[in-house]
Amino acid sequence: MLKIYHNPRCKKSCEGLKYLQNKKVDFEIIKYLEKGLTLAELREILLKLNMKPHEIIRKQEDYYKKELKGKKFNDDEWLKIIIENPKLLQRPIIVGKYKAVIAQPPSLIENLTK
């Protein structure tokens, strides 16, 4: 079963959710802004994306621009920053059994449903 890390107030996230609904595949919606993210979840997402923490940051967020831009952090520091500020996470992230994608555009979900 797929998981979608979803923010209902985000247009791109809603597009990803609609894409999944139209594909008629089983998936779980994780409203990560409400429930938060654990370190284990975040590590799993990064492993399946094959990305580093700084690569999944939304650089257009005000918090990033005001507090983080231009500063250097190691991976563990980025993990802590993301967990404390989940709004920084790019979305939607769709996680499958072995891989994950940042579904921008939503058609990237096809890589997980084949």
Is 10 catalytic? The answer is yes
Whether omega before 106 lies within 30 degrees of 0, making that bond cis, reads: no
Residue type present at position 81:
I
Q: Report in angstroms the alpha-carbon separations of 48 from 62, 71, 83, 84, 102.
A: 27, 26, 18, 21, 11
The one catalytic residue among 2, 10, 25, 49: 10
- Number of residues that make up the chain: 114
Q: How many CA atoms lie within 13 A of 112 on its CB side?
A: 28
The catalytic residues are: 10
